[in-house]
Amino acid sequence: MSTLRPALIGTGTGTATSAAASRRLGVWLVCCLGATLLFTAGGLLIGTSSIETSWQWLLAPDAQSSVVLWQIRLPRTVGAWFAGALLGLAGAIAQGVFRNPLAEPYLLGTASGAALGVTICLMLVDASIGGLAWFDKLGITGAACIGACAATLLTITLARGVLQTASLLLSGIVTAFLLSAVTSLLLLTKPEVWREMQTFLLGSTAFIGWSSATLLGAVFFLCVVPATLLSRGLDALSLGEETAQSLGLSLPWLRLTLLGVVALATSTSVGQVGIVGFVGLVAPHLVRETLSVNHRQLLIAAPLCGGALLQAADLISRSIIRPAELPVGAVTACVGGSYLVFLLWRRSRDG
Amino acid sequence: MAEARRGPTAALTVALACRDLSVGYGARTVLEGVSLEIAAGQWTAVVGPNGSGKSTLLRTLAGLRKPNGGRIELLGRPLSAWPRRERARNLAWLAQASAATELTAGEVVALGRFAHSGWLAHRKADDDAAMHRAMLATGSLSWAERRLSTLSGGERQRVHLARVLAVEAGVLLLDEPTTHLDPPHQEDVARLLREQAHRCGVSVVSAIHDLSLALTADRLVVLGDRGVIGHGTVREALAGDWLSAAFRTRVDIVEHDGVHLWRPALAAPPRA
């Protein structure tokens, strides 16, 4: 018994992770950051204009290549990282709150809410002849955010609060269907908006400028701080809702706060890059497949993973059929979808 | 029940009490008119047939389920009047089914200190000491770094028991703390609960399926189809044959060297 010391369970900052496990986490985080740097470099090199732009800038920086690199490519790749990180974070929180590995950021109806907001916005812009420039710029992002938040509120209202997991999931589905139907009806009356909407629905990182990237970054830090502070609540929730309550947690408060973070993160990313599927679902999965983590670690690792994933998808989307671009949402759907199929296949093989 | 309140036990101080408690799920009433006084510093076992509301009773007493009617008092103060954190420091609850999470056993036990250490989990020396004691007592210390998902059902149960003990609450409500455990470990848990009650002055209430094990407790709450059959010391329960009334069949308890054992009818020697 002499080997059993209190220190065995009392080391460090409050989580009992063995040295080996924290080393693995460290290696993992370094890999993620390395991939991010690599993809950022790639994002600077590859673009719709030729690769030569980059070399040209390196050899003799002229005004045009500078603009391409620093005003178009860099904000785009940085913004893509933050958007992916937001989705990864939202996915990790949603999976913890709902205690369901299949939960994803859009399950509160945010995606269809944002789509409806954008549709209404585009129709209004179209209606006001010439369109106010600020409305056009602010409008789409803002409308997506408002739509997403409204959809979240509608979902929570339909579920009569945040306490019933099953009702929340169900009313999320109902909200999504309802709002999609309204969007489709609206689009039927204005077919000319349809094309513009398509870019949004498929997701695209092409429109991220420095203002978008800054917004995404700011919201990311705004979300990741409270989320990691509340990570102990997610740990407690993983023991069961009643157990969490018996430990002295306020379940309604915890869930409402965390779902608020999910709504904020999702709506911001949807507003800037449109509906990008699978990143929010796959990033936390990828972390959990390779590491066993508690929620504080997950809430740091999943955004890093999601950011790198969306950057990679962005790279693929702009390099595969150059000089044209694939919608990044289509790329993430293909890659993320096949990864999930692989997971399923491996699970059924392992029994 | 009137008979439960007679005798010397009435002098005991009361840790947890309920009056006219009725609880139901939707239209179905599970418990009605339940009045109990849980004696302080004693181990009380709750027994009764399946569906008699043992778990519901414990959940309601733990404040996890709102009763349809009646009052609950924890340490003389209405349960609903306790601030959440303070209540969690004084009353701990163990669920019947233990969750298998990706957390390590040490992390799970540390969650038991949530009501003390709060969100940021800045553990102090007394938090570490409480965790250490709890894990040592349940024999789960050597798994501190193992993921709960890699432990067996019985090992997991002991980790969750350690989490409950780590709260160092004055009142423990345990729903089937001996499930998934092999008989020697069931006995260990029973001994642990008795020790908690007698040596640490903790009031322990546990639902227990195994009748022989339940009869090693200090007091019994016997639940039947329609609420409490009886509530008192083990001796009172046996004298009144509350168990037979609760299970609606003859429950044969034999005494062997001062130990009460349930004898299944199957095991009875054939009559000549």
β-pair partners for B204? B43, B172
Q: Do B88 and A246 touch (CB under 8 A)?
A: yes
How many inter-chain contacts (A to B, CB under 8 Å) are there?
111
What pLDDT, on the 0 to 100 scale, is given for residue B7?
35
Q: What are the tens digits of pLDDT across the range A165-202?
A: 888 889 999 999 999 999 989 888 888 778 778 777 88
CB contact under 8 A, B123 and A294: no
Query: Does B129 sit within 8 Å of A6, measured CB to CB?
Result: yes
CA B184 to chain CA centroid, Å, is 19
Of A84, A87, A85, A83, the C-alpha closest to A105 is: A87
Q: What is the per-residue pLDDT for B154?
A: 86
What's the mean per-residue pLDDT of chain A? 83
Q: At what angle do helices A191-202 and A165-189 cross, to 10 degrees?
A: 140
Query: pLDDT by residue (tens digit) across A308-348?
Result: 999 999 999 888 877 778 888 889 988 888 888 888 888 78
- Range 242-261 of A in CB contact (< 8 A) with B: 242-243, 245-250
Q: Do A247 and B110 touch (CB under 8 A)?
A: no
CB of B113 within 8 Å of a chain A CB? The answer is no
**What local confidence, expressed as pLDDT, does residue A8 receive?**
39
Residues of A in contact with B122 (CB under 8 A): 14
In whole angstroms, what is the distance from residue B18 CA to residue B36 CA?
5
A219's tokens: 């919201």
The token duo for B106 is 């040490």
Say if CB B252 and CB B24 are below 8 A apart: no
Reduced to 3 states (helix: H, G, I; strand: E, B; else coil), residue B203 is strand
Q: Indicate if the pLDDT at residue A245 is higher than 70.
A: yes
- Determine the residue of chain A that is closest to B103 in CA distance: A294
Beta strand B203-207 with B219-224 is unpaired
- Of A18-27, A155-164, B227-236, B256-265, where does the model show the most confidence? B227-236
pLDDT exceeds cutoff 70 at A351 = no
CA distance A223 to A247: 25
ipTM over 0.95: no
Substitution target in A247, A287, A290, A294 with the highest count of B β-carbons within 10 Å is A247
Closest CA to A173 of A98, A243, A110: A110
Which pLDDT does position B223 carry in this prediction? 93
Other Cβ atoms less than 10 A from the Cβ of A161: the count is 12
- Are B190 and B196 within 8 A, CB to CB? no
Residue B209 scores a pLDDT above 70: yes
Which tokens is A331 given? 């790329």
Beta strands in A164-313 (DSSP E): none
Q: What is d(CA A140, CA A275) in angstroms, rounded to the nearest whole number?
A: 13
Which span out of A100-114, A314-328, B155-169, B239-253 was modeled with the highest average pLDDT? B155-169
pLDDT at A52 over 80: no
As a whole number of angstroms, the distance between CA A42 and CA A56 comes to: 16
CB contact under 8 A, B93 and A13: no
Give the chain A residue whose CA is nearest to the CA of B91.
A246
pLDDT category of residue A145 using cuts at 50, 70 and 90: confident
What is the distance between the alpha carbons of residues A337 and A348, in angstroms, rounded to a whole number? 17
Indicate the pLDDT class of residue B271, thresholds 50, 70 and 90: low
Say if residue B249's pLDDT is above 90. Answer: no
CB contact under 8 A, A240 and B110: no
Containing B246, the helix (H) or strand (E) segment is helix B242-247
Are A292 and B107 spatial neighbours (Cβ–Cβ below 8 Å)?
Answer: no
Strands B259-263 and B252-256, by their bridges, are antiparallel
CB contact under 8 A, A10 and B123: yes
Give the pLDDT confidence of B129-186 residue by residue, as tens digits: 999 999 999 989 999 988 898 898 889 999 999 999 999 999 999 999 998 888 998 9
Chain B contact for A184, CB < 8 A?
A: no
CA angle A115, A274, A75 (to 5 degrees): 150
Give the tens place of pLDDT for each residue, B52-110. 889 999 999 999 999 999 999 999 899 999 999 999 999 999 998 877 788 999 999 99
Please tell me the least confidently modeled range out of A14-23, A27-36, A84-93, B88-97: A14-23
* Banded pLDDT at A71 (limits 50, 70, 90): confident
Which residues sit opposite B222 in a β-bridge?
A: B47, B230
**Phi, psi of A100, deg, nearest 5:** -145, 120
Say yes or no: A14 contacts chain B, CB-CB below 8 A: yes
Mutate to test the interface with A, among B25, B66, B85, B132 (most CBs of A within 10 A): B132
Query: How many residues appear in chain A?
Result: 351
Most confident of A338-347, B11-20, B156-165, B224-233: B156-165
Q: How many whole angstroms separate alpha carbon A294 and alpha carbon A13?
A: 13
Specify the pLDDT at position B13. 86
On the question of pLDDT at A228 being above 90, the answer is yes
Window B:174-233, CB contacts with A under 8 Å: none
pLDDT score at A59: 67
Distance linking the first and last C-alpha atoms of chain A = 38
| pLDDT average, residue stretch A33-56 | 77
Q: Per-residue pLDDT averaged across A270-278, rounded?
A: 86
Q: What percent of chain A has pLDDT above 70?
A: 86
Question: Which residues 6+ apart lie within 8 Å of B179 measured at CB?
Answer: B96, B157, B209
pLDDT at site A79: 93
Q: Which of B101, B106, B117 sits opposite A9 (nearest CB)?
A: B106
B257: number of Cβ within 10 Å: 5
CA angle B178, B103, A347 (to 5 degrees): 95
Q: Report pLDDT for B9.
A: 40
Respond yes or no on whether the N-terminal peptide bond of residue A61 is cis (omega within 30° of 0).
no
**Where does residue A309 rank: exposed (0-12), middle (13-18), buried (19+ CB within 10 A)?**
buried
At residue B95, the pLDDT reads 92
Q: Does B239 touch chain A (CB under 8 A)?
A: no
- Chain A hits for B104, Cβ within 8 Å: 16-18, 294
Residue B16 φ/ψ, nearest 5 degrees: -145, 130
Which carries the bigger pLDDT value, residue B144 or residue A207?
B144
What is the pLDDT, as a whole number, of residue A166? 85
pLDDT for the residue B165: 95
φ and ψ of A76, to 5 deg = -65, -45
Residue B43, CB-side half-sphere exposure with 13 Å CA sphere? 23
- The residue among A136 and B231 whose pLDDT is bigger is B231
Q: What pLDDT, on a 0 to 100 scale, did the predictor assign at position A344? A: 83
Q: Which chain B residues contact residue A243 at CB under 8 A?
A: 93, 95, 99
What is the pLDDT of chain B when averaged over all its residues?
A: 87
With contacts defined as CB-CB under 8 Å, which chain A residues touch B85?
Answer: 248
Q: How many CB atoms lie within 10 A of CB B84?
A: 15
The neighbouring-strand residues paired with A335 are none
Q: Which residue has the tokens 């004696």?
A: B39
**Given pLDDT bands bounded at 50, 70 and 90, which one contains residue B42?**
very high
As a whole number of angstroms, the distance between CA B172 and CA B196 comes to: 10
